[in-house]
């Protein structure tokens, strides 16, 4: 795995890992993941000794919104990439007492087969995660915890009390356009908690800034 660059996003715990593709007349070859390279890289202590125990793939139609999901017991960090199409990743800080609590931001991840590199985004425990899709899209994500039914919850991406101050204005405009035109979204996601309701829920104490920051 040839790691090209590590980028820190608007909230410092969220990282983007850029890795090389090797292009030729046939197309490209890439090695998206090698545990030893991630463990040894001097700029990646955030993934040192992280074990990925589950791999998921999903297909979403253009105009779909998914999220914002999170899990405890066990916690689940996610390493996410776009395999085909155009995803915009959504990340919301739910760490109580965090200076960024309640802030949401977007990161755009289109798939470009002609590009000489591709990207993972790392979303650790303590964040609600989701995506919206500007094209029919396939994504893959590695999880640091197995799915645990009954130990998961969600905040609605349509909740009116999210803090959008970190969001790129153009991406927010694209998100708002999907919402205005009628998004493809499950009733479970649409009816997720507001931020205020989740903050009052005793289960939110599973996400405390001092124990999860990194």
Half-sphere CA count of 183, side-chain side, radius 13 A:
24
Whether 91 contacts 105, CB under 8 Å: yes
Compute the distance between CA of residue 95 and CA of residue 102 in angstroms, rounded to an integer. 8
- The model's confidence at residue 49, banded by pLDDT at 50, 70 and 90, is confident
The per-residue pLDDT for range 142-151, each reduced to its tens digit, is: 999 999 989 9
Pick the CATH number of 3-209 from 3.30.70.20, 3.60.21.10, 2.60.120.10, 3.90.1010.10: 2.60.120.10
Q: Which of 69, 111, 129, 193 is catalytic?
A: 69
Domain ranges, ordered by start, for the chain: 3-209
Say if residues 122 and 12 touch (Cβ distance below 8 Å): no
**What number of CA atoms fall less than 13 Å from residue 128's CA on the CB side?**
31
Q: Is position 147 annotated as part of the catalytic site?
A: no
Please tell me which residue in 107, 129, 141, 193 is annotated as part of the active site: 141
| Confidence band, pLDDT 50/70/90 cuts, at residue 137 | very high
**Residue range 35-40: mean pLDDT, rounded:** 90
**Integer Cα distance of 166 and 164 in angstroms:** 6
- pTM to 2 decimals? 0.94
pLDDT of 58 reads 97
Task: Please report which confidence band the pLDDT of residue 213 belongs to, taking 50, 70 and 90 as the band edges.
Answer: low
Judge whether 69 counts as a catalytic residue.
yes
Confidence tier at 214 by pLDDT (50, 70, 90): low
């Amino acid at each position: 795995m040839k790691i090209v660059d590590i980028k820190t996003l608007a909230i410092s715990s969220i990282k983007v890992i850029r890795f090389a593709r090797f292009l030729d007349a046939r197309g490209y070859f890439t090695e998206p993941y090698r545990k030893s390279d991630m463990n040894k890289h001097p700029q990646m202590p955030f993934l040192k000794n992280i074990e990925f125990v589950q791999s998921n793939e999903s297909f979403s139609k253009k105009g779909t919104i998914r999220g914002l999901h999170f899990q405890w017991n066990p916690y689940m960090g996610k390493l996410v990439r776009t395999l085909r199409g155009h995803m915009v990743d959504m990340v919301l800080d739910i760490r109580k007492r965090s200076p960024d609590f309640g802030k949401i931001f977007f990161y755009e991840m289109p798939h470009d087969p002609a590009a000489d590199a591709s990207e993972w985004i790392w979303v650790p425990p303590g964040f609600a995660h989701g995506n919206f899709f500007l094209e029919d899209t396939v994504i893959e994500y590695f999880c640091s915890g197995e799915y645990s039914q009954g130990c998961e919850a969600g905040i609605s991406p349509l909740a009116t009390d999210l803090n959008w101050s970190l969001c790129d204005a153009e991406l927010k405009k694209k998100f708002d356009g999907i919402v205005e035109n009628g998004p493809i979204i499950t009733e479970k996601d649409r009816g997720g908690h507001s931020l205020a309701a989740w903050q009052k829920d005793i289960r939110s104490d599973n996400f405390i800034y001092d124990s999860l920051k990194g």
